[in-house]
Amino acid sequence: NAGVTQTPKFRVLKTGQSMTLLCAQDMNHEYMYWYRQDPGMGLRLIHYSVGEGTTAKGEVPDGYNVSRLKKQNFLLGLESAAPSQTSVYFCASSYLTEDRKLFFGSGTQLSVL
Amino acid sequence: GEDVEQSLFLSVREGDSSVINCTYTDSSSTYLYWYKQEPGAGLQLLTYIFSNMDMKQDQRLTVLLNKKDKHLSLRIADTQTGDSAIYFCAGPHSGGYQKVTFGTGTKLQVIP
């Protein structure tokens, strides 16, 4: 099993450009999450989804949109990238169980110039 | 929401024990977790403890939970160079059981 796969692994954008990060999981998990990791700030939740067709805002949703058209995929979009969105982005997924054990992808390093 | 705090850095000698500490604010937390992040990689679940437990041991790892003080610790016995990584404490977010809140992470450096 591949687990949680993120594409791309690296990307450089210019301010104002748009892009979509793709997350795919093959574990039939109900929940999926997008986090960003910045030095000294740990992981902060951007958006999450509790099932196909549903999404919800996390702690830092501004400037991002998400979609979950298929259970196995969770897309994170940046409509107009800003330098403040330079970060490492992680996707995670989990089962619908009380112990919220997360399985993470390997991350996407995004730089916005 | 949930505040989870950790110290940023810990340095130990190979063979010694490492103790990484975490404090949290949400007393309703049911599960508390420790994740490990190796350089250039995503996070992996290391171990977790249910809030009705005081201690959990798994090989070289010991998790201690002090619910009164809202303090969680991870002890790594006989620390090896392969244990060098960032360790994150995490717990369910008070704003919704679907969410997990992470601490800032503690970078463990193991000196040979």
Residues B52-73 have pLDDT tens digits of: 889 999 999 999 999 889 899 9
Provide, rounded to the nearest whole percent, the portion of chain A with pLDDT above 70: 99
Residue B64, SS3 per DSSP: strand
Query: Least CA distance to A10: which residue of chain B?
Result: B40
pLDDT of A68 over the 90 cut: yes
Query: Which pLDDT band holds residue A112 (cuts at 50, 70, 90)?
Result: very high
- Give A-chain residues touching B45 at CB under 8 angstroms: 101-103
CB contacts of A101 in chain B (<8 Å) are 33, 45, 48
> B10 to chain A, minimum CA–CA distance in Å?
14
User: Is the alpha carbon torsion for A76, A18, A12, A112 positive or negative?
Assistant: negative
- The whole-angstrom distance between residue A63's C-alpha and the CA centroid of its chain comes to 13
Q: Provide, as residue numbers in chain A, all residues whose Cβ is less than 8 Å from the Cβ of B105.
A: 42
- pLDDT number for residue B2: 54
**pLDDT digit string (tens) for A39-61?**
888 899 999 999 999 999 998 99
Q: What pLDDT does residue B98 have?
A: 66
pLDDT at B1: 47
State how far residue A80 is from chain B, nearest Cα, in angstroms: 26
- Whether the predicted pLDDT of B97 surpasses 90: no
Which residue, B65, B93, B59, is CA-closest to B79? B59
Cβ of residue B35 closer than 8 Å to a chain A Cβ: yes
Tell me: pLDDT of A7 over 80.
Answer: yes
What digits encode the pLDDT tens for the residues B73-92?
A: 999 999 999 999 999 999 87
**For B6-32, what is each residue's pLDDT tens digit?**
988 999 999 999 999 999 887 666 788
* Alpha carbon distances (Å) from A46 to A54, A57, B64: 14, 6, 30
Residue B99 to residue B15: CA distance in whole angstroms: 36
- How many angstroms away from the CA of B105 is the closest CA of chain A? 6
